[in-house]
Amino acid sequence: MRATDHARPVSPAVSASAACHGHISVQAPDGARRVVLVGNPNVGKSLFFNAFTGLYVDVSNFPGTTVAISSGRMGDDVMLDTPGIYGVSSFNDEEIVARDIVIDADVVLNVVDAVHLERDLFLTLQLIDMGLPLVVALNMVDEAETRGMRVDAAELARLLGVPVVPTVATRRRGFTEAQAALAEARVGLSDPVLQDRLVSLLDRVGTRGEALLVLEGDPFIAERHGIEPFGLRDEIYLDRRQRVNAVVSRVVERSGGGLDLRTRLGHALLRPLTGIPVLAAVLFIMYEFIGVFVAQTVVGFTEGTIMQGYVEPLIRQAVSAVVGSTGVLYQLLAGDFGVLTLSTTYIFGLLLPLVIGFYLMMSLLEDSGYLPRIAALTDRMMTAVGLNGRAIIPMILGFGCITMATITTRILGNERERKIATALMAFTIPCSAQLGVITGLLAGAGGFSLTVAYGAIMVVIFGLLGVLMARFVPGESTDLLIDLPPLRVPHPMNVLTKTYRKTIMFLREVGLYFVVGSLLLGVLQVTGALVAAQTWLAPLTEKWLLLPRQTSTAFIMGFVRRDFGAAGLYSLGLSGTDVLVALVTITLFVPCIASVLVITKERGKSFAAFVWVGSVVLAFLFGGILAHVAGWLA
């Protein structure tokens, strides 16, 4: 998942489970060179990749991890894209994946941002120290110029000992030269003292690259070769830092000083007084686009007109022609929760447009450089619930689809944070499908004041549960440590490609769970378990929540799809506070089957069980309290 290219996890802790897979390489045909693209986040790497490989690109999960890797043909060679990283080691999933691909590279094309050479050349020198044949694409030379910087590419090539090609990826300038330079790729000039040390390790470790990582204390590479990691990271890093600074001081000429307008604007976005109003405006625009345009207009067409109007009848016809229109098999395949009807409509009619809408927005926020600023702005608030600002990313996605957001929790620093974020979302954040019905009900029943009351109650519950979990979920949360890329106008093609790739990844990863989910429900319905559960819940609904008996049907429907649950309330004609009680209960109530399955996959069975049971308990606890408090007040 590359939902946050620029705000890479830089947290002090790394999930051990994600890091302990074996050594795996992406396949390349015989005789083909493996050209690997490497660079810091947000340096325009994907523009190179798209230009060099064309349309036929394979996006797949790197085996054993959760990071998406793109690969494609470039002439006779294979080009592999890697996640944006600041250095090669194993601080997080992205680095582990990039590390394993880089180690096997025949040629590395290292894209660096001319404006941030102090940062980017650290990775470059590390790749050189690893003994990899390298070409450097000095990207964004135009932006460097407008910032009053002059970068001497020839001098940089001389100091590094590798070809350096100035490029402007957004205008495809320098691409031909960069591609041609790959034939000239060379192992650059490393530090002689360091190289001596590496050579002494070579008989125990396969390559210079792996030897370097062992010296830098990478525990996984060391284990692979059955030796103890060396603790020389600080020394090697500091030394490399000084080499980078020496190179930069010789190739970069800066004129002017002080903070330019773009930088000042960037700072304003971080300060609460100016940043919060901007964030509110951005969220409002997102809501208008996704919550109103996509969720209502687009989904109305794709779900209602296309899927329910044309596709579902066709499927039903086909199924009844084969198995007849009565009987269990028909019910399972094409009934109310039919695997072929419900899941097809759900995935293509409802989820697909929403997920595209969300990834489009996220890609825009990401490429503009705004996303890490949102993370910074919300960091303090997130700290209170045991998370850091980076957790705002899955939280925003949660309003789209909890399933999608649960997958995105992979970007968080450690398992404790992933658990807290997953549970908070599953408990308190209504997904877009549900949100549409909720806002409709609120508007119908009491309008503005009721909406404010609902929002306030949910925020309070979110805070309460977050503080409790921060207290009781074992472990320690990581601190925010992120790089703020400059604000930039996103490149439309790049945004679209990213949206497309992420959407495909999402469907590929969770499509099956939606199918399994509707199959489970079909079985529950056919066996009569659904009706039994409704009857069983009824007393709780009447006596404790003080709601009509039929409301329990709505809750049970919530198991299926959370919006089914909320939609079930429409027909009951509830009044003011009853609506509030019902909506708070149903928001807290169990996440949909697909997200429960994904939670199980990501966090394990017992955690999924905790979330599921917990959501039932919390839903009735808070719903009941609210009902009784409202009763006393009235």
Partner 1 sequence: MRGADDAAPVGEEEQMTLLEARKGSRVRILEIPDDRARAQCIRFGIGEGTVVDWAEPLRVGPVLVRQANQEICLGRNLAARILVEEAAPYGGCGLDVRGRGA
* Residues 191/184, Cβ–Cβ less than 8 Å: no
Interface with partner 1 (CB under 8 A), residue from 146, 176, 200, 249: 249
> What is the smallest separation between the CB atom of 216 and partner 1, expressed in angstroms?
9
Phi/psi at 607 (nearest 5 deg)? Answer: -70, -40
**Closest separation in Å from C-beta 231 to partner 1:** 10
**What is the C-alpha separation between 215 and 308, in angstroms, rounded?**
61
User: Angle between the 432-445 and 562-570 helix axes, to the nearest 10 degrees?
Assistant: 20
Q: Which of 106, 118, 155, 542 binds partner 1 (CB under 8 A)?
A: 118
CB of 114 to partner 1, least distance (A): 10
Contact window for partner 1 (CB under 8 A) among 157-165, 206-214, 474-482, 583-591: 474-482
Q: Which pair of tokens denotes residue 164?
A: 């350096």
Told to check if 226 binds partner 1 by CB under 8 A, we report no
Q: Identify residue 471 by its one-letter amino acid code.
A: R
Binding mask of the shown chain, residues 12 to 41, with x at each position contacting partner 1 by CB under 8 A: xx----------------------------
1, 402, 592, 593 from 600: Cα distances, Å: 18, 13, 12, 10
Q: Which of 81, 312, 379, 602 binds partner 1 (CB under 8 A)?
A: 379
Question: Least Å distance between CB 406 and partner 1?
Answer: 24
- Residue whose CB is less far from partner 1, 39 or 372: 372
Residues 134 and 102: beta-carbon distance below 8 Å: no
Binds partner 1 by CB under 8 A, chosen from 483, 511, 604, 628: 483
- Helix (H) / strand (E) containing 39: strand 34-39
Residue 580 touches partner 1, criterion: CB under 8 A = no
Q: Treating both helix axes as pointing N-terminal to C-terminal, what angle do 492-526 and 352-368 enclose, rounded to 10 degrees?
A: 150
* 230 in Cβ contact with 213 (< 8 Å): no
Contact set for partner 1, span 162-181 (CB under 8 A) = none
Distance from chain centroid for Cα 597: 18
By CB under 8 A, which span of 11-19, 221-229, 451-459, 488-496 interacts with partner 1?
11-19
Give φ, ψ of 498 to 5 degrees.
Answer: -60, -45
Q: Six-digit token pair at 19?
A: 């890091």
How many whole angstroms separate alpha carbon 594 and alpha carbon 615?
15
Quick one: which of 24, 238, 459, 460 contacts partner 1 (CB under 8 A)? 238
List the structure tokens of 82.
């890697």
Number of residues forming the site for partner 1 (CB under 8 A): 51
Using the contact rule CB under 8 A, the part of the chain among 305-313, 396-404, 477-485, 542-550 near partner 1 is: 477-485
Interaction between residue 237 and partner 1 (CB under 8 A): yes
Does residue 244 bind partner 1 (CB under 8 A)?
yes
Q: Which residue has the tokens 């996509």?
A: 294
Least distance from C-beta 602 to partner 1, angstroms?
Answer: 23
* Cα dihedral across residues 311, 312, 318, 319: positive or negative: positive
Min separation Cβ 596 and partner 1, Å: 32
Q: Rounded to an integer, what distance in angstroms lies between the CA atom of residue 164 and that of residue 178?
A: 8
Residue 368 identity (one-letter amino acid): S
Give the nearest distance from C-beta 87 to partner 1 in angstroms: 5
Q: Which of residues 50-89 bind partner 1 (CB under 8 A)?
A: 86-87, 89
Give the x/- contact pattern for partner 1 in 257-296, rule: CB under 8 A.
Answer: x-x---x--xx--xxxx-----------------------
- What amino acid occupies position 330? Y
* Site membership for partner 1, residue 377 (CB under 8 A): yes
- CA 290 – CA 498 distance, rounded (Å): 18
**DSSP code string of 47-66:** HHHHHHH-S-EEEEEPTTSS
Q: Is the CB of residue 334 less than 8 Å from the CB of residue 231? A: no
Segment contacting partner 1 by CB under 8 A, of 19-27, 43-51, 240-248, 432-440: 240-248
- Window 585-604: contact mask with partner 1 (x via CB under 8 A): --------------------
Binding span for partner 1 by CB under 8 A among 481-489, 505-513, 589-597, 605-613: 481-489
Alpha-carbon distance of 615 to 617, in angstroms, equals: 5
**Angstrom distance (rounded) from CA 426 to CA 405:** 10
**Member of 32, 201, 248, 526 binding partner 1 (CB under 8 A):** 248
Q: Which is nearer to partner 1, 11 or 50 (CB)?
A: 11
Q: Which residues of the chain form contacts with partner 1 (CB under 8 A)?
A: 10-13, 86-87, 89, 91, 115-116, 118-119, 122-123, 147, 233-234, 237-238, 240-242, 244-245, 248-249, 257, 259, 263, 266-267, 270-273, 372, 375-377, 379-380, 383, 388-389, 479-484, 486
